[in-house]
């Protein structure tokens, strides 16, 4: 598939660039799976506190927007993939939805602050029957999956026709001045502050991991090719975060 090849080209270019700049190349394949799991297990105890500080509390509003963008009624079953410590699960439950949190990092789940049921599982092989969910959310994890194409295929599998998808992720402002300031903060300040409060290696990796994300048109086409329609992307907070929403297309 052309979209899949584009994703691989983006990843290969980003990895090579990281290595040539004198920094370690970003891990791929099973090495990436192991690195991501270990990293999130390590930062789990202080994850929420550091997140609030580094985003100046804006992540709370972003998650609220994510859940609202689903447009689902109370009682809807929503899977929160890469649930972490349960922020999105709490927001979903606060709106009367039946949330289920799924994450591969046991350390994150053990520090979760939510009454929602939690499951340790791989996002690329969700332990959920086909068409069982009304909605699916994912916050700041797309760049951590080893295969974004497969994740979108799994999301399409577990969502019923007409089900809704809402994906929250970091972004880069379009304005060159804002982009430069954001790059300085995300690339230089975040690793230092994250290192003081939690784990320097993890918070150095997180800004670099943006290189895993494909170009926006490629990512949106991947969703369409996996059975989604009404695919939309909106920028939040001057473009430092993005929210991608889509609807599971009915079978022909």
Looking at the domain assignment, is residue 122 inside a domain?
A: yes
End-to-end Cα spacing for the chain: 21
Question: pLDDT value at position 252?
Answer: 57
Split the chain (252 residues) into runs of 10 and give each run's mean pLDDT.
36 40 78 92 90 93 97 98 97 98 96 96 97 98 96 98 98 93 92 89 90 96 98 96 97 65
Question: pLDDT value at position 22?
Answer: 55
Strands 241-248 and 159-170: antiparallel
From edge to edge, which strands make up the β-sheet containing 133-139?
A: 118-120, 98-103, 77-81, 133-139, 159-170, 241-248, 228-236
Looking at the domain assignment, is residue 12 inside a domain?
A: no
Question: pLDDT value at position 23?
Answer: 66
The whole-model pTM stands at 0.88
Looking at the domain assignment, is residue 21 inside a domain?
A: no
Q: Which CATH number does the domain housing residue 96 bear?
A: 3.40.50.150
The span from the CA of 93 to the CA of 115, in Å, is 9
In the chain, the number of structural domains is 1
Residue 29 falls in which region: left (phi positive, over 0), alpha (psi -120 to 50) or beta: left
Looking at the domain assignment, is residue 22 inside a domain?
A: no
The span from the CA of 168 to the CA of 30, in Å, is 24
Looking at the domain assignment, is residue 110 inside a domain?
A: yes
Looking at the domain assignment, is residue 196 inside a domain?
A: no
Looking at the domain assignment, is residue 65 inside a domain?
A: yes
Domain containing residue 37:
27-174+204-248
Question: pLDDT value at position 200?
Answer: 87
Looking at the domain assignment, is residue 129 inside a domain?
A: yes
Question: pLDDT value at position 24?
Answer: 72
């Amino acid at each position: 598939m052309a979209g899949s090849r584009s994703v691989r080209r983006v990843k290969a270019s980003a990895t090579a660039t990281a290595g040539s700049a004198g920094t370690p190349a970003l891990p791929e394949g099973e090495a990436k799976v192991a690195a991501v799991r270990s990293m999130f297990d390590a930062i789990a105890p202080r994850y929420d506190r550091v997140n609030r500080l580094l985003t100046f509390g804006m992540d709370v509003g972003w998650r609220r927007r994510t859940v609202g963008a689903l447009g689902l009624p109370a009682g809807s079953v929503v899977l929160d993939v890469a649930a972490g410590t349960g922020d999105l699960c709490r927001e979903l439950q606060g709106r009367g939805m039946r949330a289920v949190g799924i994450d591969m990092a046991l350390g994150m789940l053990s520090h979760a602050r939510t009454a929602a049921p939690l499951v340790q599982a791989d996002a690329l092989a969700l332990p959920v029957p086909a068409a069982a969910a009304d909605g699916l959310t994912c916050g700041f994890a797309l760049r951590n999956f080893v295969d974004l194409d497969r994740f979108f295929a799994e999301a399409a599998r577990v969502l019923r026709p007409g089900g809704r998808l809402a994906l929250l992720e970091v972004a880069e402002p379009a304005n060159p001045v804002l982009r430069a300031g954001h790059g300085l903060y995300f690339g230089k300040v975040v690793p230092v502050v994250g290192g003081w409060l939690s784990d320097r290696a993890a918070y150095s990796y997180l800004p670099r991991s943006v290189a895993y994300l494909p170009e926006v048109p490629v990512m949106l086409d991947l969703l369409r090719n996996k059975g989604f329609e009404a695919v939309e992307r909106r920028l939040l907070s001057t473009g430092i975060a993005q929210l991608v929403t889509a609807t599971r297309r009915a079978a022909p």
